[in-house]
């Protein structure tokens, strides 16, 4: 993936982390930063299928989940369920904030319960399933903010930034080579490798002190005024228990990637911004003063000290 997405090594790592944690990813960035390319490169690196859903204002929930179709030639059961694009291993929800809430919410059951219910029937998703949504943070015309209930179902919200000068120079050269057809296709990694990694990650130890650190961080988002008066002004609502679970999962993946069998406080701090930035509901004062979620999380990490 790093060979295809130059200068975005940390973003690539976070995408892989979300997949290993069996979660869903929200990728935010300006147009042209290779958000879609990053997700496509993951599909090419794995032996799996990818479906892309281009979210638009006229999209319907059935366009995502599928619908029941009447087929009279089927004598025994003429009503046949035609599966939608959600039934893939990797689902790219491109520009998810361009569709209204009822369409966005069509993903909720699949993201959380790994199933889809249509016409009273329940259909299971594949064992390897991941929703990767992209959104543009700047362009607001014709967009719909994601409901907080859906934001909470994304394990991480990763922000993609501009590459540095050297990386952008390498991007130019890469695109030139690709235009000539000089692309090297590696053998895809089998899905079993992902499942094996997930089983090993389940055995990563989380000490009582690390657990307490996670709980202290989440509690600080809910009762910020008890720790700092300024934080109390900036946070309206903190993270739900899903935030605690996400911190635990993501920190264990980070420890596994670093070759350790236990979680360190640094692992928790490393994933804190990506896990919490979309789970904090900031106050009017924070918005008026231009305070962003990452700045609030910086303050939280500064105040809440691990043992």
Q: pTM value?
A: 0.88
| Residue-by-residue pLDDT tens, the chain, 307 positions | 888 888 888 999 999 999 999 999 999 888 888 888 888 888 888 888 899 998 888 888 888 988 888 877 777 777 788 888 999 999 999 888 888 888 887 888 888 888 888 877 888 988 999 999 988 877 666 677 787 878 889 999 999 888 888 888 988 888 888 787 766 667 889 999 999 999 999 999 999 999 999 999 999 999 988 888 888 899 999 999 999 999 999 999 999 999 999 999 999 999 999 999 999 999 899 888 888 999 999 999 999 885 4
For domain 203-303, say whether CATH 1.10.8.80 is its number: yes
Pick among 3.30.1280.10, 3.40.50.10130, 3.40.50.720, 3.40.50.300: CATH of 9-179: 3.40.50.300
Domain ranges of the chain: 9-179, 203-303
296-301, long-range: CB within 8 Å, 24+ apart, which pairs? 296/231, 296/234, 296/235, 297/272, 297/273, 299/228, 299/230, 299/231, 300/217, 300/220, 300/221, 300/224, 300/231, 300/272, 300/276, 301/217, 301/269, 301/272
């Amino acid at each position: 993936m790093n060979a295809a997405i130059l200068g975005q090594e940390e973003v690539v790592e976070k995408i892989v982390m979300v997949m290993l944690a069996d979660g869903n990813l929200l990728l935010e960035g300006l147009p042209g930063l290779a958000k879609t390319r990053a997700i496509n490169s993951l599909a090419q690196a794995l032996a799996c299928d990818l479906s892309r859903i281009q979210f638009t204002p006229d999209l319907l929930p059935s366009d995502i989940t599928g619908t029941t179709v009447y087929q009279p030639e089927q004598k025994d059961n003429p009503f046949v369920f035609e599966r939608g694009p959600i039934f893939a291993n990797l689902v790219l929800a491109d520009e998810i904030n361009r569709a209204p809430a009822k369409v966005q919410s069509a993903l909720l059951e699949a993201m959380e319960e790994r199933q889809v219910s249509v016409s009273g029937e329940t259909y299971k998703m594949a064992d390897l399933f991941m929703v990767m949504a992209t959104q543009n943070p700047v362009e607001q015309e014709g967009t719909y903010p994601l409901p907080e209930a859906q934001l909470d179902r994304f394990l991480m919200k990763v922000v993609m930034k501009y590459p540095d000068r050297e990386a952008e120079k390498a991007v130019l050269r890469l695109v030139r080579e690709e235009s000539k057809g000089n692309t090297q296709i590696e053998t895809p990694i089998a899905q079993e490798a992902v499942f094996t990694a997930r089983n090993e990650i389940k055995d990563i130890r989380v000490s009582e002190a690390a657990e307490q650190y996670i709980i202290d961080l989440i509690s600080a988002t809910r009762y910020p005024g008890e720790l700092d008066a300024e934080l109390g002004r900036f946070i309206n609502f903190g993270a739900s228990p899903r935030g605690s679970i996400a911190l635990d999962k993501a920190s264990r993946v980070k420890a596994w990637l670093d070759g350790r069998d236990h979680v360190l406080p640094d692992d928790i701090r490393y994933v804190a911004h990506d896990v919490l930035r979309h789970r904090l509901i900031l106050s009017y004062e924070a918005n008026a003063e231009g305070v962003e979620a990452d700045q609030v999380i910086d303050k939280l990490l500064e105040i809440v000290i691990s043992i």
